[in-house]
Amino acid sequence: MRLSTRNQLTGIITEVELGNVMAIVKVRLDGGDQIVTSSVTKDAAVDLGLAVGQPATVYVKSTAVTIGVE
């Protein structure tokens, strides 16, 4: 698979929560305790066979990145 997305983060799926329409998927990134949470359609999660413990790559493509501080 070839993608134009440059921000590719590998990790392990730690949680898959299937709702009626959407699914929440959490991936613990390799090399640390950072978790990335993604919202995907339930159909996509099922079609991909997403499961806890499965290796996965998170692809991040965004036109805006924001930073907040206290």
pLDDT in tens, 51-69: 999 999 999 887 777 778 9
Cα distances (Å, whole numbers) of residue 13 to 4, 16, 18, 31, 36: 23, 8, 14, 14, 9
pLDDT in tens, 26-43: 999 999 999 999 999 999
In a domain, 64, yes or no: no
| Neighbouring C-beta atoms of residue 50, cutoff 10 Å | 19
Q: What is the pLDDT of residue 28?
A: 97
Scanning the structure block, which residue is given the tokens 């066979």? 49
Q: Give the number of domains in the chain.
A: 1
- Higher-pLDDT residue of 6, 40: 40
Looking at residues 16-28, what average pLDDT do you find?
97
In a domain, 69, yes or no: no
Tokens of 41: 């359609």
In a domain, 27, yes or no: yes
In a domain, 68, yes or no: no
Q: What is the pLDDT of residue 24?
A: 96
Q: What is the pLDDT of residue 23?
A: 97
Range of the domain at 44: 7-59
